[in-house]
Amino acid sequence: MKKKWISGLVSVSLLGLALAGCGTEKQEPSGTASEGGGEPTKLVISTWGFSEDFFKKEVYEPFEKRHHARIVVEIGNNAERLSKVKQGSSQVDLIYLSDYYAQQAIEAGLFEKIDRSRIPNIEQIYDIAKAPLGEEYGPAYTIGQLGIAYNPKTAGKELKSWSDLWSPELAKKLTLPSITSTSGPMVLDAASHVAGSSSFDEEQAFAKLKELNPHVVKYYSKTSEFVNMFAQGEIVAGPILEMYVKDLKAAVPDAKFIAPQEGAYAVINTVNVVKGSKNKPLAEEFINWHLSKEVQEKAAKAAVDSPVNKTLQLKPEEVQGITYGIEVVEKLRMLDMKFVNERLKAWTDRWNREITQ
C-alpha cells in the first residue's frame, strides 16, 4: 500500500517579516461586555494545564483586563478534553489540541469556522501554522519538532540521520515511541523513508521497524519514561520532541538533540473555537492575542512554547530547547493528519501483532 502522506518540506514565505506591531490593540468584540460595564464576559478555555503560572500572568490576565473578560480554564490531556466536548459535558469556547486530535474534532463537526479577518496576527506567523487543517479552522499557536536525542559519550557514534537508529552501536540501547503516541506515526513514516520509499509505504515501514525491534529496550508512551531510562543509562538514544531536551540535559548534561538530515517532523498544536460558543468573537480575539509578538516572545523566552510568529528576533541563548527560525521550520516534514486518522486503528492492530508481540 502506497500513499503520499507528507505534504513535503514546509515552504515558509518571507512575506510579512517587515510587518510592524503585534496587532493586539483591538476594539472590544461585539457581543461582549464593554470595559467597566456589567459583569465580565466568561471565556472558557480547554487546554493542557502546563506552565499555569506563566499563562495566568502573561496571557490570561492581560487579556482579561483589556477585554473585560473572565477566563475559566479546563485542563486535561487531548483525549479527555475532546471527549468532554463530544459528550456535550463542557461549556468550552476555545480548545487547544494537537493536530491529530483537532482533525478528529473537525470530522465530528465540533468546531466553528473561524473569521480570519478578526485574527490579523495570522499574517505574521509561519505559512505552515496559518491553516494546518484547512482555512476554515484555527491556526497553530506553536510548532515543535521531533528529532533524535542521544548521549554522545555512550552512543558509540555521531548520529546525523533517521537511518542511524538502525546502527549496530545502538543495539539494546534504543527507545521508540509507541504507535498510539503523538510521534508514533512520525516514526512509522521515518521507517518508510529509511527503507528507501519516496512516498509512504506501509509494508516497507513495518518491515523496517520489525528489523529494528530487537534493538529496542522499550516503546515509550510517556516522555517521562524516556527521561528516566536515559537518566539511568538504560538507553542512549531515541526520537523525542525537542521541548523535552531540557529535561534530558538536567539528568545527563551531555545529552544532544539533532534534527536528522532528512528533516525533523513538525509537531503542531492548534487552537479552535468550539461549535455553539456564544463568545465566538471574543474567542477569536483571544486567538489573535496568543499569536501576537508580545505573547509569542514571552512564551519563547520562558521556554514554554516554540513560537510561530516570525517577527520575533531572539538571541542564541534564548532559543535553547525551542524550535525557532525560518531556516529550521522550513525543513520540517508534516504528516497528513486526515490520512493518519483513517489508518491509525489498522496500524495499531498491526503494530501489536508484528512489532510488540
CATH at 221: 3.40.190.10
Query: Which residue carries 497553530 as its cell?
Result: 140
Residues 21 and 124 in one domain: yes
For 257, residues 6+ apart whose C-beta sits below 8 A from its C-beta are 147, 148, 149, 240, 242, 245, 248
What type of residue is 27?
Q
Supply the pTM of this predicted model.
Answer: 0.84
Residues 193 and 240 in one domain: yes
For 89, residues 6+ apart whose C-beta sits below 8 A from its C-beta are none
Structural domain count, the chain: 2
**Residues of the chain predicted below pLDDT 50:** 1-4, 6-35
Confidence at residue 24, expressed as pLDDT on a 0 to 100 scale: 34
| Residue 51 contacts residue 304 (beta carbons within 8 Å) | yes
Domain extent, residue 182, equals: 145-265+337-354
Residues 346 and 313 in one domain: no
Residues 130 and 213 in one domain: no
Residues 277 and 128 in one domain: yes
| Residue 24 contacts residue 292 (beta carbons within 8 Å) | yes
| Residue 73 contacts residue 93 (beta carbons within 8 Å) | no
Residues 222 and 343 in one domain: yes
Question: Is residue 331 a part of any domain in this protein?
Answer: no
Residues 201 and 91 in one domain: no
Confidence at residue 64, expressed as pLDDT on a 0 to 100 scale: 98
Confidence at residue 211, expressed as pLDDT on a 0 to 100 scale: 97
Residues 153 and 206 in one domain: yes
Confidence at residue 81, expressed as pLDDT on a 0 to 100 scale: 96
Q: What would the pLDDT profile of 105-138 be if each residue is shown by its tens digit?
A: 999 999 999 999 999 999 999 999 999 999 999 9
The values of phi and psi at residue 306, to 5°, are -75, 135
Residues 89 and 184 in one domain: no
Residues 167 and 65 in one domain: no
Confidence at residue 330, expressed as pLDDT on a 0 to 100 scale: 87
User: With the C-alpha atoms ordered 190, 191, 197, 200, is the resulting torsion angle positive or negative?
Assistant: negative
% pLDDT > 90, the chain: 85
C-alpha cell of 94? 476555545
Confidence at residue 348, expressed as pLDDT on a 0 to 100 scale: 96
